[in-house]
Every structure is written in C-alpha cells, then in structure tokens.
Amino acid sequence: MSLLWANSQVAGLFCQGLLDQSMKKKDWATLRKLMVDNQLRARGIKDERVLQAMEKVPRHLFVPENMQEVAYSDEPLPIGEGQTISQPYIVAYMTEAIQPESWKRVLEIGTGSGYQAAILAELVKEVYTVELIPELAERAKTLLDGLGYQNIHYKIGDGTLGWPEEAPFDSILVTAAPAKIPTSLEEQLGPGGRLIIPVGEMFQDLYLVIREKDKLSRQKLLSVRFVPLVTLH
C-alpha cells in the first residue's frame, strides 16, 4: 500500500519535472498539445479542425509578456485596457458551436488580443473582426499581420451594430456580453447562419441563435463570465 503511494508520488514528481523542464525551455508546442488533450479533448471538444487550430496558434504571443508562462493554463488572462482573453476551452467551445467550415465568412465582435480571430482565420475563408478600443485593435492587427494572416478584416467601432456593409455572415461570434441579444447581429445572419453570444450582466449564459428559413431559434448552452459589451447608444 505504502509502496504504491510512494510510486505514485514519484510518478507525480516525474511528470511535474517534465512539465517544469518544458516550461523552462519554453517548449510552447508541448504546452499547446497538453492544453488540447487535457482541457479540450478531455472535456468533449470533438471537431478535429478546431483542435488542430488550437494546437497551432501561438497563444503565448497574444498575452502580455509577463503572462506568457501561464498562456496555456485553464483560465482567462488580462490583455490590457481592462479586457481579457477567454479561457482556451471557451474559445474552442464557441468556435466549434458556429461550425467553422472552410467556405464561411465569419464576423467576430471584440477583437481584443486577436487570438480568437487567429483561430477563426485558420478555419474559415474570411474573418471580419470589430473592436471598440483602438489601441487593442491596432495591437492585434500588427501581431496578426506579422503572423501572416491575410484573411482577417479589421474595423474599429461599436460591434453592437455588427458590420452591415459586409453582411450577411455565415456565422457570428461575440466575445463580450450584452444585456440582451442585439437585433442588428441577428439581422446580419445569413440563411442557416449561427450566432454565438454570451448574454447577461452579473450572471451570463452563452446562447446559440440559428436562422432557420423564416425564423430564429435560440438555445441556451452554458453559464459563462465575459467582460461587458459596451453599448454606446
């Protein structure tokens, strides 16, 4: 009994040792693989393309330098201007929910660090991303341009209004929470289009809205915590 206990302790120390080593060497690819296996696959994310994108995009480049060591941990992180980058699981969950097929044009509200935009850009044809805070939008664009993404279109402004000039969209993904679903976003969904959005103030739920023929279906998925979607009017 005590031998078993001792062995498992040793095994635990050994694993921890491996993890420490890879952290020290900044072996980001290993950390990404662990993140995909332990946080995403283990919790039921199934879309292989989404898992591949999460394994590829260098999340540590989207967080402040002093946060890079924890970039692949199971939590949201601050990105400046009082905003946050979502937990990896939530990014994967929302991406999977909009069914990111390769022919799609997708609107994202809340560019933030640009991480979610990069994940989408790996998967779909065109990404349209709107951010209210110019400093964040500019920083994200510089990083994403540097990483070579050419299918992302940027707009600085109020995402509550969507991007009417480019509508309709096949999917819309909102990464900040309004008190209720903005009608302009529902209106900018094309036929069969899917909108994923956190809704609420203190307590929020993630909703999936689907445009089916001449009606909209709205489904509540899970409880979440996002920064508020700032409403200007």
Handedness of CA 223, 100, 230, 233 (dihedral sign): negative
Nearer residue to ligand SAH within complex by CB, 163 or 193: 163
Q: Would you count residue 229 as binding ligand SAH (CB under 6 A)?
A: yes
The CA–CA distances, whole Å, from 8 to 3, 4, 15, 147 equal: 9, 6, 10, 42
Chain centre distance of CA 184: 22
| Token pair belonging to 66 | 């002093």
Nearer residue to ligand SAH within complex by CB, 180 or 215: 180
Determine which residue in the list 39, 171, 175, 204 makes contact with ligand SAH, applying CB under 6 A: 175
Report DSSP state, residue 26.
T
Give the footprint of ligand SAH on residues 86-105 (CB under 6 A): 86
Q: Would you count residue 36 as binding ligand SAH (CB under 6 A)?
A: no
Question: Looking at 38-46, 97-105, 110-118, 185-193, which segment touches ligand SAH (CB under 6 A)?
Answer: 110-118
Q: Would you count residue 107 as binding ligand SAH (CB under 6 A)?
A: no
Query: Could you tell me which residues come within 8 angstroms of residue 76 by beta carbon, excluding any fewer than 6 positions away?
Result: 84, 85, 86, 87, 90, 225
Count, in order, helices (H) and strands (E) of the chain: 7, 9
Here's the x/- map for ligand SAH, 180-219, by CB under 6 A: it reads as ----------------------------------------
> Phi, psi (5° rounding) for residue 42?
-60, -25
The CA–CA distances, whole Å, from 181 to 54, 116, 134, 173, 232 equal: 28, 20, 24, 12, 15
Nearer residue to ligand SAH within complex by CB, 113 or 188: 113
| Token pair belonging to 108 | 């994202």
Nearer residue to ligand SAH within complex by CB, 122 or 131: 131
Q: Considering the complex, what minimum distance in angstroms separates the CB of residue 137 from ligand SAH?
A: 8
The single residue of 86, 113, 171, 223 carrying the catalytic annotation is 86
22 part of the active site: no
| Whole-number Å distance between alpha carbons of 35 and 27 | 13
Here's the x/- map for ligand SAH, 113-152, by CB under 6 A: it reads as x-xx-------------xxxx--x----------------
* Residues at the interface with ligand SAH (CB under 6 A): 79, 83-86, 109-110, 112-113, 115-116, 130-133, 136, 158-160, 175-176, 227, 229-230
Q: Would you name the residues annotated as active-site residues?
A: 86
